[in-house]
Amino acid sequence: MEPTQLFELVIAMFLAIIALHYAAHRLGLPPSVALLTGGALLAFVPGLPAISVDPGLVLVIFLPPLLMDGAWSIALSRLRRHMIGIASLAVGAVFFTCAVVAVVVHLIFPSLPWAACAALGAIVAPPDAVSARAVLEHVRLPRRLQILLEGESLLNDASGLVLFRFAVAAATGAFSAGEAVGDFFVLALGGAIVGIVIAAAWVKLIRHLGDDYLIIAATVLLGWISYLLGELLHVSGVIATVTTGLVASWHQHTVFSAATRMRGTSFWTVMIFLMEAAVFTLIGLSLRDVVERGGGFSTVIATMGLPMLAVLVTLVAARFAWVFASDLVIKSCAALGFTRTRPLGAGGATVLSWAGVRGVVTLALALSLPEGFPGRDFILATSFTVILGTVLVQGTTLGRVIAWARLAPETERARLTMSQAEAAMAQVQLGIVQNLAYDTEGKLIHPQLLERYQRRATAIVDYAERTEHYVPLLHAHFDVVLEAVATGRRELIRLHRAGDIDDETLDELERDLDLEELSAISAKA
């Protein structure tokens, strides 16, 4: 394929992404479902050149920034609080699922080597971070379940990748169980160290750059740098990237200016949207290659249909078994007084079990199997079936499962509400203004500023104490503010179109209106 044709195909794919995303919104479907099925249909359009996805390139391009985005947005305090549960899913559930799938596949195909069965288990075991995000964005979960699923999707790729490498090594005869266990901890610990070092270097660099666009560019590259350096040093690039994201996210509140944060967030949000959408579209487009490798639809279904379905059912059943068994252990320990952790209950465990959606990592690992690997065609076809089945079935029905579960609202330890936090900030701001409003001789030099902050602090404290009374008034207040902003914007545009103000004045005043509008919308939320 000519480079120009490839570029045209990429542009066409992004146009298709916009159309499919819009269609999903109109039909009330998860966007991942529309993108995956749309990509699969596009793959068989007559005249469209076959698209061969390089698995290594897909992982390097898409996985680091998407992992960074997940680590950047996760609640670190809740991640620490639920680390045992997350580790149980990210490590224990992956290992258990891999073993169960390997046993089932070996029972179906006794001639298939155990190493190949384990490789398939490692490929399909870890739920995917991208798929999980795409599904969870359109459902509402209790915070505990949300953090368990987000934390699992961040860390389980490392477990799956390590198991996959060990299985491939075992298939070639270069494998030792003792060395494998040691290598697993070396990979994880080494990746964490690399991530911390990269994040620390980033913090120092950001403090000295002093330019918004350079800071945003350095931050965008951060995930790729961590991943590539981790892989170069033969440790876990996934763990390195996640660790970097967690540490950088913790420090971004102190090293970013307000302008940097607003500009960076806007750019990053669009980039991640396009990347997530492209991943699902590429997965769908790869169906053509998978089917051709298997000898066509009829051959694949006739020879592999039931075994592929058996693997999919086994995968779902293994996750249910692990989650419910873990919840039973938690319930028993709580009854004996060994832990204060509350069990999820049948509803919560069902939702957690049903949310194991597979995606890009599964496909990339399957495609990366060397030519001549035992059962390679079956592994490829099964991997795509697992992705398709989990996204189409579990992804579309997760909302109904959550509604059926009727999960009880969570009771967390007492903490300040948003209005109480605003009151606390207003008090300390008033304190510093009171100190600086007078000169060295005690003369008041900023009376209006002092009055403004006194009035603001009094109003916010009163609002925090009587929130229910003020909410309707507050919404009505900011509705008027938003209408005033819209009116001011129309007048600003009229002045510019009439030639009364230049472009620089338009941009400056429009930015002020944008900030006022965003502030009003945030206050209403």
Q: How confident is the model at residue 520 (pLDDT cuts 50, 70, 90)?
A: confident
At 300, give phi and psi (nearest 5°).
-60, -45
Among 39-43, 130-134, 348-352, 393-397, the least confident range:
130-134
Q: Match 């389980």 to its residue by tokens.
A: 156
- Tell me how far CA of residue 134 lies from CA of 32, 58, 275, 373, 444, in angstroms: 6, 18, 12, 32, 56
pLDDT, average across residues 378-399: 85
pLDDT in tens, 326-347: 989 888 887 777 776 778 888 8
Alpha-carbon distance of 260 to 257, in angstroms, equals 5
- Kindly list the domain boundaries of the chain, sorted by start residue: 53-405, 420-524
Report the pLDDT value the prediction gives residue 137, as an integer from 0 to 100.
Answer: 67
Mean pLDDT of 202-231: 93
Q: Is the pLDDT of residue 413 over 60?
A: no
Q: Percent of the chain beyond pLDDT 70?
A: 91
Q: Is the pLDDT of residue 51 over 90?
A: no
For the chain, give the percent of residues with pLDDT over 90: 19
Distance CA 265, CA 6 (A): 30
Question: Which tens digit of pLDDT belongs to each residue from 168-188?
Answer: 877 766 555 555 666 677 888
Q: Do 148 and 88 touch, CB atoms closer than 8 A?
A: no
The stretch 6-31 carries a mean pLDDT of 85
Q: Which residue has the higher pLDDT, 295 or 233?
A: 233
Q: What is the pTM of this model?
A: 0.77
Which residues are registered as beta bridge partners of 444? Answer: 438
**pLDDT for 78 beyond 80:** no
**Topology at the third CATH level for domain 53-405:** Na+/H+ antiporter like fold (1.20.1530)
Least confident of 78-82, 173-177, 290-294: 173-177
pLDDT in tens, 444-471: 888 888 888 888 888 888 877 777 777 7
Residues 138/399, Cβ–Cβ less than 8 Å: yes
Asked if residues 242 and 32 have their Cβ atoms less than 8 Å apart, the reply is: no
